[in-house]
Amino acid sequence: MSSTTLRQRIADGEFILAPGVFEMLSAKLADRLGFKALYMTGYGISASHLGLPDAGLATFTDMVGRARIIAEGTRTPLIADADTGYGGLLNVRHTVRGYEAAGVQAIQIEDQEAPKKCGHTPDRRVIALADMARKIEVALEARRSEDTLIIARTDARAALGLDEAIRRAQAYRHAGADVIFVEAPESEAEFERVAREVDAPLLANMVPTGKSPMLSADRLRSLGFRIAIYPSAAMAAACAAMDRAYRYLLDHGSLVGATHEMFDMRQLHELCGFPEVWDFERRHPES
């Protein structure tokens, strides 16, 4: 794991670009490229691990187990989706302690009612502002290290409008959240207003073909955002690539002549860690 914490990076004024990772191949690929953080996407974990939509069906156990595997297998600081904290205040405490023990550096908790839904789908509803503020207070109390960041997300924009989303964002910062995440502003002007009216380190969620416009890192940085996550960056590309490969195999009965880009076995071996296994076996041959 990196010795430079996300808290330090934010304090130093760095802009953090975090690609979504959803299993270990995506995590290993992103980890070796030099990103300042990785983002464990709830949508991606629910889809890749369970084959289910991001609709409150993945449990704490599902998510913390994946977080531990990803954190242990990478060096880059990990931001992880923790949905609503998986229940009431006691559940929030358990979630924060579990994620922190798993190696997560930033824990994202949202103000949706259960069952929660992906932030770029319709019909999301939120709990009372005061109830979410208490969740934030419990999350802060539960963490064992001050370096662990609590990211407070509000989904109020969809059901209650931008004014209420901003009011909640301000309240969640006042409750002590380290980073504020207003989900799914619907125009660049809305991003501008969030940045202008919420005095906190801000996170932007960039989802191609989602509810928000795609803004560049330079534009987000100029507005005052400190983190940009791209949850579907690898997942969407991987699904398209796998679909092409499977269709070619079905149509041709082999991969001979396939023109889609593929890793060769050397690249796969390297990504999976076989060179380390082979080195170990050379140094410690079985008798």
- Say which CATH number the domain at 155 has: 3.20.20.60
pLDDT-derived band at 120 (thresholds 50, 70, 90) equals confident
- What is the Cα–Cα distance from 270 to 263, expressed in whole angstroms? 10
Average pLDDT over residues 44-55: 95
Give the pLDDT confidence score for residue 115 in this predicted structure. 86
Give the pLDDT confidence score for residue 151 in this predicted structure. 98
Give the pLDDT confidence score for residue 56 in this predicted structure. 92
- CA-based torsion, 176, 180, 183, 189: positive or negative: positive
Tokens at 252, concatenated: 């041709």
Q: Are residues 174 and 254 in the same domain?
A: no
Domain count along the chain? 2
Q: Are residues 102 and 139 in the same domain?
A: yes
Q: Are residues 157 and 259 in the same domain?
A: no
Give the pLDDT confidence score for residue 119 in this predicted structure. 79
Amino acid identity, position 11: A
- What is the Cα–Cα distance from 156 to 199, expressed in whole angstroms? 18
Q: Are residues 23 and 94 in the same domain?
A: yes
Q: Is residue 140 part of a domain?
A: yes
Mean pLDDT of the chain: 96
Q: Is residue 42 part of a domain?
A: yes
Q: Give phi and psi for 217, each to the nearest 5.
A: -60, -40
State yes or no: pLDDT of 2 exceeds 60.
no
Give the pLDDT confidence score for residue 173 in this predicted structure. 98
Q: How far apart are the two ends of the chain, measured CA to CA in Å? A: 35
Q: Is residue 273 part of a domain?
A: yes
State yes or no: pLDDT of 82 exceeds 90.
yes
- What is the Cα–Cα distance from 149 to 25, expressed in whole angstroms? 26
Domain range enclosing 219 = 6-238
Give the pLDDT confidence score for residue 99 in this predicted structure. 98
Average pLDDT over residues 177-206: 97
Q: Are residues 23 and 63 in the same domain?
A: yes
Q: Answer for the pair 164, 193: CB distance below 8 angstroms, yes or no.
A: no
Q: Is residue 1 part of a domain?
A: no
Q: Answer for the pair 84, 116: CB distance below 8 angstroms, yes or no.
A: yes
pLDDT-derived band at 164 (thresholds 50, 70, 90) equals very high
Q: Is residue 83 part of a domain?
A: yes
Q: Are residues 214 and 132 in the same domain?
A: yes
pLDDT-derived band at 117 (thresholds 50, 70, 90) equals confident
Q: Are residues 153 and 275 in the same domain?
A: no
Q: Are residues 33 and 124 in the same domain?
A: yes
Q: Answer for the pair 191, 223: CB distance below 8 angstroms, yes or no.
A: yes
Q: H or E element: which one contains 93?
A: helix 89-102
Q: Are residues 16 and 134 in the same domain?
A: yes
- CA-based torsion, 175, 91, 160, 18: positive or negative: positive
Q: Is residue 188 part of a domain?
A: yes
Q: Are residues 201 and 261 in the same domain?
A: no
